[in-house]
């Protein structure tokens, strides 16, 4: 095992990880900062795949209070309100930083102001964007700046375990695998940022790339940390449905298509959204996904089993101009987005749940910080489109500042618990040399059980079936072997590790979903369809104790606004009495 020592270790190179690296370097350039990433820096992760844009209150008539209320109401009163306030207030600063300091070019209006397009579930058009390829613009500029500063990189290194100190009271570092050689590497650090991203690829239809496997959440559970809101998995309503033969199935057709006025049609060619919500296609993602699923369940489907997205009534030339990337993506799969119909299906997109963390990105484990999709609490029961990349960049920057300050004031290197390292190595090496098992069959069964039993519509019966099947799959995986002769770029081995993480997190999702006996946002229980009393809202917590998942609940703290209240008057002004 090789050992590396660094002041700050950042796991992940999406918006959160790269912003953290830049802010930490700016705050304390003398510190040694290392970014570790499962793939190649700037070429992997979910931020790069963002199409739609970045929510921020900039225009006359909008305000951070209005953005905040949209976020709280969209999250069904479950968001941590101080985290949500940090999101909407710092987003204003962060988007200026992206433009003026990092060099991002976003679309503009004729008068030179930033163009902000409509996204569903919001009361104001506030989504800043670069056409429909916003994520590529952001990640390219961030990666350029990281490279220019000489920040150390550990590319093609996957994190497999958070290692506590010998006394168990702090974090010592992270055990990793150098995927290029198969060698284990222990990176000792004074501070670690968990920013690996979510990636709900345990569902039949999903948007992230296959290398995303919720590793950060799985590591956090094994390290004894508490995760919240794990039942809240967002399905984007319009994933491309091009058949089982292509990985393009499940990839996102962005929210702006519906925001611009796109229509959803069932298999009979009829619009249906207004039967489910008066906002029609511009309802929040949870409602639109559920409505599409209901049409599918009742047999009103397109040839591949989904529904249709129609944009032609907005003018084909206009659609080609506004959504160039989407038009090209659909054309690659034989669909004419500008002039015809495109088959779509709800697709697993984002984890609202994750590690409990504070506004400064600290966690309950000293030395461990968290940001981005690995964290829970910012979005509650439903994330507004455009709030995801804002979340990553806002809290990534905060995490970088916090880690730089913490390391200089009190951070120190802790001797690792060698027994934990050895146990983690043995766990990771356990499949090597055992009789080979059909890993694709395990993955396909996982896809089906999570989609059918723990997906858009749930019940106690379906969730118990999911529990049973997931336990069987875990046991089956533990018996499964992979070739162990050459560990360099051993993709079968890493697929085994991916499945292990996905099964761990899937079990947490199902356990939390069983515990929540009401319906909020992305979590819909057919046996408990009521939302419950908003004034006594709670969030679920899950942790791993002696090998078993434990579920508890905690009350939501309404620190800024309570259900039935608003930070806005009818005139749009902030209420002064009764709120902080």
State the pairing for strand pair 538-545/227-228: antiparallel
* pLDDT range class, residue 579, cuts 50, 70, 90: very low
How many percent of the chain have pLDDT more than 70?
98
Does residue 204 have a pLDDT over 70? yes
What pLDDT does 571 receive?
39
Choose the catalytic residue: 23, 236, 379, 560: 236
Task: Indicate whether 87 pLDDT > 70.
Answer: yes
Whether the CB-CB separation of 138 and 393 falls below 8 Å is answered with yes
Q: Is the pTM of this model over 0.85?
A: yes
| pLDDT tens-place string over residues 325-370 | 889 989 999 999 999 999 999 999 999 999 999 999 999 999 999 9
**375-376 vs 183-194, strand pairing mode:** unpaired
Token pair 């700050």 in the structure block, residue: 8
Name which of 290, 281, 135 is nearest 197 in CA terms: 135
Query: What pLDDT sits at residue 570?
Result: 44
Task: Name the phi and psi angles at 578, rounded to 5.
Answer: 90, 0
**Distance in angstroms (rounded) separating the CA atoms of residues 510 and 520:** 15
Mean pLDDT, rounded, of the chain:
94
Which sign does the torsion angle of CA 385, 387, 388, 390 carry? positive
Q: Dump pLDDT digits (tens) for 406-438.
A: 999 988 999 999 999 999 999 999 999 899 889
Q: Would you state the structure tokens that stand for residue 370, as one six-digit string?
A: 């968290």
Res 189 pLDDT > 50: yes
- Asked whether 190 and 8 are in contact (CB, 8 A), the reply is yes
Has residue 199 got a pLDDT over 80?
yes
Dihedral sign for Cα atoms in the order 436, 439, 440, 442: positive
Give every CB contact of residue 103 below 8 A, 6+ residues apart in sequence: 141, 144
Compute the average pLDDT of residues 199-227: 94
For residue 294, what are the CA distances in angstroms to 299, 396, 463? 9, 38, 19
What contacts 118, CB < 8 A, 6 or more positions away?
125, 127, 256, 259, 260, 282
For the stretch 369-391, pLDDT in tens is 999 999 999 999 999 989 999 99
With cut-offs at 50, 70 and 90, classify the pLDDT of residue 259: confident
Q: Report the pLDDT value the prediction gives residue 19, as an integer from 0 to 100.
A: 97
DSSP 425-490: HHHHHTTBTSPB--HHHHHHHHHHHHHHHSSSSB-HHHHHHHHHHHHHHHHHHHH-BB--S--TT-
pLDDT at res. 529: 97
Find the catalytic residue in 126, 153, 164, 258.
258
Provide the 3-class DSSP secondary structure of residue 20.
helix
Residue 511: name the closest of 565, 428, 454, 563 by CA.
454
- Band (pLDDT 50/70/90 cuts) for residue 94 is very high
CA-to-CA dists, residue 438 to 212, 246, 338, angstroms = 20, 21, 42
All residues at 6 or more sequence positions from 85 whose CB lies less than 8 Å from its CB, including other chains: 64, 68, 560
For residue 69, the SS3 value is helix
How far is the first Cα of the chain from the last one, in angstroms, to the nearest whole number?
52
Q: Are 252 and 347 in contact (CB under 8 A)?
A: yes
pLDDT digits (tens, 9 = 90+) for 122-180: 999 999 999 888 889 999 999 999 999 989 999 999 999 999 999 999 999 999 999 99
Q: Count of alpha carbons within 13 Å of 529, Cβ hemisphere only?
A: 4
Over residues 52-64, the pLDDT tens digits come to 789 999 999 999 9
pLDDT score at 580? 33
Burial class of residue 486, CB neighbours in 10 A (0-12, 13-18, 19+): exposed
Q: Residue 521 — pLDDT band, cuts 50, 70, 90?
A: very high
Catalytic residue list contains 236: yes
Beta bridge partners of 550: 543
pLDDT digits (tens, 9 = 90+) for 263-316: 999 999 999 999 999 999 999 889 999 999 999 999 999 999 999 999 999 999
Q: What is the model's pLDDT at position 140?
A: 93
Asked whether the predicted pLDDT for residue 572 surpasses 60, the reply is no
CA distance 72 to 201: 27
Q: How far is CA 501 from the centre of its chain?
A: 15
Q: What is the largest CA-CA distance in the chain?
A: 70
Radius of gyration (Cα) for the chain, nearest Å? 23
């Amino acid at each position: 095992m090789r050992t590396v020592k660094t002041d700050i270790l950042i796991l992940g190179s999406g918006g959160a990880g790269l912003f953290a690296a830049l802010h930490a370097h700016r705050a304390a350039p003398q510190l040694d900062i290392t970014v570790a990433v499962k793939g190649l820096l700037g070429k992997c992760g979910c931020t790069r795949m963002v199409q739609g844009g970045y929510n921020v209150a900039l225009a006359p008539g909008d305000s951070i209070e209005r953005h905040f209320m949209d976020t709280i109401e969209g999250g069904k009163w479950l968001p941590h309100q101080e985290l949500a306030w940090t999101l909407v207030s710092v987003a204003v600063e962060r988007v200026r930083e992206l433009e003026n300091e990092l060099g991002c070019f976003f679309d503009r209006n004729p008068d030179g102001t930033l163009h902000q397009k409509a996204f569903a579930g919001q009361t104001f058009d506030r989504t800043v964007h670069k056409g429909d390829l916003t994520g590529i613009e952001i990640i390219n500029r961030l990666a350029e700046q990281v490279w220019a500063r000489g920040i150390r990189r550990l590319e093609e290194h996957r994190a497999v375990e958070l290692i506590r100190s010998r006394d168990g009271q702090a974090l010592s570092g992270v055990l990793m695998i150098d995927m290029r050689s198969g060698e284990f590497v222990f990176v000792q650090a004074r501070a670690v940022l968990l920013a690996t991203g979510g990636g709900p690829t345990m569902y039949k239809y999903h948007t992230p790339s296959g290398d995303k496997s919720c590793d950060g959440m799985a590591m956090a559970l094994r390290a004894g940390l508490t995760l919240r809101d794990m039942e809240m998995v967002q399905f984007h309503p319009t994933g491309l449905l091009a058949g089982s033969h292509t990985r393009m199935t499940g990839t996102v057709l962005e929210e702006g298509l519906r925001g611009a006025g796109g229509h959803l049609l069932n298999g009979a060619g009829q619009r249906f959204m207004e039967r489910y919500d008066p906002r029609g296609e511009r309802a929040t993602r949870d409602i639109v996904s559920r409505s599409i699923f209901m049409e599918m369940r009742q047999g009103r489907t397109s040839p591949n089993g989904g529904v249709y997205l129609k944009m032609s009534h907005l003018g084909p030339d206009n659609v080609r101009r506004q959504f160039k990337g989407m038009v090209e993506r659909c054309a690659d799969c034989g669909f004419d987005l500008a002039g015809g119909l495109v088959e779509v299906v709800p697709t697993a997109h984002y984890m609202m749940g994750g590690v409990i963390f504070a506004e400064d990105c600290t966690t309950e484990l000293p030395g461990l910080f968290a940001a981005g999709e690995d964290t829970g609490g910012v979005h509650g029961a439903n994330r507004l489109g455009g709030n995801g990349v804002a979340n990553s960049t806002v809290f990534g920057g905060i995490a970088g500042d916090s880690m730089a300050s913490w390391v200089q004031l009190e951070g120190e290197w802790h001797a690792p618990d060698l027994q934990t390292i050895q146990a983690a190595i043995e766990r990771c090496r356990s499949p090597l040399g055992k009789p080979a098992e059909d890993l694709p069959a395990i993955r396909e069964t996982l896809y089906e059980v999570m989609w059918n039993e723990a997906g858009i519509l749930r019940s106690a019966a379906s969730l118990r079936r999911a529990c049973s099947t997931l336990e069987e799959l875990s046991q089956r995986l533990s018996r499964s072997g992979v070739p162990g002769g050459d560990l360099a770029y051993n993709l079968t081995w890493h697929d085994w590790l991916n499945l292990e993480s996905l099964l761990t997190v899937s079990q947490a999702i199902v356990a939390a979903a069983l515990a929540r006996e009401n319906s909020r946002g992305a979590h819909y229980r057919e046996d408990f369809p009521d939302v419950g009393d908003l004034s006594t809202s709670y969030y679920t917590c899950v942790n791993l104790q002696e090998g078993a998942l434990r579920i508890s609940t905690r009350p939501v703290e309404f620190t800024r606004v309570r259900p039935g209240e608003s930070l806005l008057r009818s005139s749009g002004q902030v209420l002064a009495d009764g709120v902080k």
